[in-house]
Homo-oligomer: A and B are copies of this chain.
Amino acid sequence: MNEPKSSKRQGRVTIREVAEDAGVSVAAVSKVLRDAYGVSDTLRDKVRASMGKLNYRPLASARGLRGRTYTLGLIFPDLRNPFFGDVFAGVNTALERTQYQVMQGIGTTIGALAEAMIDRQMDGILLVGPNEAPAYLSELALRKPIVAIGHHDDLTPMPFDTVNNDDQLGARLVVRHLIANGHRKIAMLSLLQEPSTVVRQRELGYRLEMMDQGLGANINVGRATQVARDVQLSVKRMLESADRPDAIFCWTDLMAFEAISVVTEMGLSIPDDVAIVGYDNTMYCDFAQNRLTSVDQSGELLGLQAARLLIERIEGRTEAEHFVVTPRIVARASSRKRG
């Protein structure tokens, strides 16, 4: 390996130059930077003027060595699910008037990403739909402030903040909606690998509501990985079975769009042959080729709230908070009344 170019930081203004320009100490500039207490208005103005004049920008990694980097990590599992775009929009809104900047890490290896973020001195980490064991998350929370978006408590409340929609209720709403529209043989398409607590809550809600409605005998849960081909096979298997469901509740919109594809391919019609319902109410639901009924869990609100909670934690709060949004069903043609 060659040496890094020495010109790399060439021209970068440091806190020392600001101090010289303003005729104050380095420590004084640092205080102004952090809005720390004990600075006179005169000094602050002088320093601010110099910072502006020299176009000073603090180096986050240097700050991080002693204090904060003002950087938050946001980890989500993949780039193809538009729901994460909603969450991200909310996070950005929360950070608008703050010094904090968010950096994304994307992938299902939450652990590795979280460690990389800790190595990079992120002040806190937002995790979307983590499928890691609660024990790992609890241990992680000991080392760094974290907020989980889409992670339900096991038995005991988690020692870290969580932000959720009521997934169990969301699933119940779907079942009720489908029944109200004349469907009885309601199947659910769920996730096969490493189901997160979110998946499990949705499954539970589906099962409980089916039983409450006296349709326990019709409970039918299929499972597929996120891989397109696997989803296709699962949907096909469901639709070709002896007692074909007249409605499929997919645990996420992304799977529902694939289900729509399979149903269309098979020459069946939606919703007359089979109704489809998703979860997340992403922008693609509105497309006329989908018209997908879905559950809105306010991704943007979840992201906004999560970022706020994380900053509170970084700035000192010690007891965990748990924020829950009530989901609502958004009906579209994919689940219209039968007959």
Contact = CB atoms under 8 A, between A and B. Distances in A.
Interface of A: 1-5, 8, 10-11, 34-36, 57-62, 64-65, 67-69, 71, 78-80, 82, 84-85, 88, 92, 101, 103-107, 115-116, 118-121, 123, 143-144, 228, 257-258, 260-262, 264-265, 283-284, 286-290, 314-316
Nearest to A34: B1
Nearest to A266: B288
Most chain B beta carbons < 10 A, residue from A5, A92, A103, A284: A103
B284 A264 contact: no
A197 B265 CA distance: 38
A281 to B, nearest CB: 14
A338 to B, nearest CB: 21
In the complex, the 4 A-B pairs of residues with the closest C-beta atoms, listed nearest first: A61-B61, A2-B316, A79-B85, A104-B104
B261 A59 contact: no
Contact of A258 (B69, B116, B287): B287
Contacts of A290: 289
Contacts of A123: 4
A278 to B, nearest CB: 13
Q: Give this chain's copy count.
A: 2
A18 to B, nearest CB: 15
A125 to B, nearest CB: 12
Contacts of A286: 228, 261
Given A61-B69, A61-B120, 12 more contacts: A1-B36, A57-B119, A58-B119, A59-B119, A61-B61, A71-B120, A79-B84, A103-B105, A103-B120, A120-B120, A262-B288, A284-B284
B78 A121 contact: no
A61 B65 contact: yes
A316 B67 CA distance: 32
B79 A88 contact: yes
B115 A60 contact: no
Given A104-B106, A120-B61, A261 B283 contact: no
B85 A107 contact: no
19 contacts: A1-B316, A3-B316, A8-B143, A11-B143, A57-B115, A57-B119, A61-B69, A61-B121, A69-B120, A71-B120, A80-B82, A88-B106, A120-B120, A261-B287, A261-B289, A262-B288, A265-B288, A289-B289, A289-B290
